[in-house]
Amino acid sequence: MSGPDLGRLLAMTRKEAREFRRTPFILGAMVVLPVIFIIEPLIDIFRLGSSTPASAVQKVVGVTFLLMLIVPAVLPSTIAAYSVIGERDQGTLEPLLTTPVRRSELLLGKALAAMIPSVLVSYVIFGVVLLCAHLFAANQTVVATLSNGPEILAEVLFAPLLSGWSIAVGTGISARASDVRIAQQLGTLASLPPLAVTALVSFQVLTPSVPVAVGFGLGFLVIDIAMWRVVAAMFDRERLITGARALAAGGGGGGGRPPGTVRRIQMVQEGDHE
C-alpha cells in the first residue's frame, strides 16, 4: 500500500481553502480574531510603565503568550468540526467517497487547509505584537521577555502542534456528530485542555527554556500522532454514509445463501452463474 498521493491531498486542501474563502463565518473569524488578539495584548503592554514591577510584567507576558496560542487552538477546531459533517449535510460526502481518494488523503488535505491559515495567523499576530512592543512599549523588561528565545521557540513549536490536536479532535467529533453546531461547540471545548499545559510555560510555572519548549513540543507531537490515528480509525466510510457501523466487513466472502426466491424469467439468462 503506497502512501498518500500528493495530488489528491493538495486537491482536497485547495477545495477546502476555496470553500473557506467563500464562507463568511470562517472568513470573519480569520479577520476578527487576529484583530482582537493583537489589540488586547498591545493595550496591556502599552499600559506598562517603565517602573512596573517584574511580577506584573511577567503576568502581562504570560497572558500575551497564552492569547497568541488561543488562535491556533480554537480556530482550526471550529473549521475542522465542520469538515466531515458539513460534507455530509450538503450531500457531498458520498460522491467524494466514491472516488479513489484515500482516507489519509482526505483527512490530511482537510487538516492542512485548517492548519495553514490558523498557524500563519498566529505567527502574524505574534510578529505584529513583538514589533509594536519593540517600537512603542515604554517598559523594556516586557520587550526583553517577549523576545526571550525559549518563549519564542515555544510559540513557534506550540502553534502548529496545538493546531494539530485541535484539528484532530474537531475532525473526530465531526465524523461522529449529527449536528454542525454541536460539533463546533464540542470541538472548541475539546481544543482547550492543551492550553493548560502551555499556560504553565507562559506563566513560568515551568521556567521557559529550550529543553522545556522542545520537551513539551515532542509531547504534543506524540499526542497529535496518537490522536490522528484514533481519528483515522473513526473515519469509517460505511458509518459516515449510513450512520451504522459495518457489522461484517470483507465483501467478497462467500457467505451461506438461504434458499433463493428469485423468480427467474425463462428468456433471460440469469441462472448460469450460480
Partner 1 sequence: MPAGPSRADGAPGALRPSRPAHWGRYPAAMVQPAPGPGGEGAALPARDGPALRVSGLTKRFGDRAAFEDVSFEVARGEVFGFLGPNGAGKTTTVRTLGTLIAPTSGSAEVAGLPLSPQNGEAIRRRISVMPENPGLYSRLTVRENLELFASLYGLRSPGERIAGALDAVRLADRSEDRCGRLSKGLRQRVGLARALLNDPEVIFLDEPTSGLDPVAAGEVHDLINGWRQRGVTVFLTTHRLAEAERLCDRVAILNTRLRSVGSPKDLRASLFGGSLVVETATPLPDPRAVFAGVAAVMEWTEGGNGTYLLSVADPRQAAPQVARAVVAAGADLISLAESQHSLEDVYLQLIDDDGSAPR
- Interacting residues toward partner 1 by CB under 8 A: 2, 5, 7-8, 10-12, 14-15, 18-19, 22-23, 90-102, 237-238, 241-242, 244, 246-258, 260-270, 272-274
Compute the distance between CA of residue 242 and CA of residue 48 in angstroms, rounded to an integer.
58
Question: At its nearest, how many Å lie between partner 1 and the CB of residue 24?
Answer: 10
d(CA 274, CA 257): 11
Residues 249 and 6: their CA atoms lie apart, in Å, by 29
3-state DSSP call for residue 257? coil
- Closest distance of CB 79 from partner 1, Å: 14
Nearer to partner 1, 59 or 239 (CB): 239
Query: Which of 147/242 has CB closer to partner 1?
Result: 242
Smallest separation, CB 28 to partner 1 (Å):
15
Compare residues 211 and 250 and give the one whose CB is closer to partner 1: 250
CA proximity to 15, closest of 87, 103, 88: 87
Question: In this structure, are residues 164 and 111 in contact, taking their beta carbons and an 8 Å threshold?
Answer: yes
- Give me the sign of the Cα torsion angle 173, 178, 182, 184: positive
The residue count of the chain comes to 274
Q: How far is the CB of 162 from partner 1 (least distance, A)?
A: 28
**CA distance readout (Å), 30 to 16, 177, 247:** 15, 24, 42
| Least separation in angstroms between CB 89 and partner 1 | 11
Q: Which is nearer to partner 1, 219 or 243 (CB)?
A: 243
- Rank residues 49 and 95 by Cβ distance to partner 1 and give the closer one: 95
Distance in Å, CB of 268 to partner 1, minimum: 4
Q: What 3-state DSSP class applies to 69?
A: helix
Q: What CA–CA distance (Å, rounded) separates 37 from 123?
A: 12
Identity (one letter) of the amino acid at 90? Q
CB closer to partner 1, 211 vs 259: 259
Structure-block grid coordinates of residue 188: 472548541
